[in-house]
Amino acid sequence: MLEHYGITAKFVTDRGISHEIVRHRLASFAQESTRYCNYIKDKFGNEISVIKPQELVKGSFEYIVWKKQCEQAEKAYFKLIDNGVSPETARSVLPTSLKTTIVMTANVREWRHFLNLRAIGTTGKPHPDMQALAINLLNQFKSKIPILFDDIK
């Protein structure tokens, strides 16, 4: 059953965390593309969207530095687009904090492996943002199909 029962989950996170997610090779992924997204268009509200790292406290010096860099990246992106550079080339200046949507499908065995690594940290401390995302997913799995996930602590 663990091999043949697939579960799909949708995450909204930053590009850096999505890079950790796609390392799970026994899964299938669909991710929002920065190659074809033109953030200067109305569809995206004429701005990039970023995800604040959990460790940064709003108003702190570190937060202000991060926010200013994201704003500079957005300005550089728009300037490139305004000068005729394609979105697929202009995206190279976008920050790792850029919001992305990623959908992951895996069988139960792979989800258990994912959660043990990313929520529990069986092989080392997970990135705080990844761990929060994975713990949230684990709690949802436990509430919906406890028989398959309740033993993961």
Strand order of the sheet with strand 28-31? 6-14, 99-107, 28-31
Among 15, 91, 112, 118, the active-site one is 118
Identity of the amino acid at 38: N
Between CA 80 and CA 46 the distance in angstroms is: 14
As a whole number of angstroms, the longest Cα–Cα distance in the chain is 56
Identity of the amino acid at 39: Y
- Cα 143 from chain centroid (whole Å): 23
Is 146 strand, coil or helix?
helix
Say whether 109 is catalytic: no
Which residues have a catalytic role annotated? 118
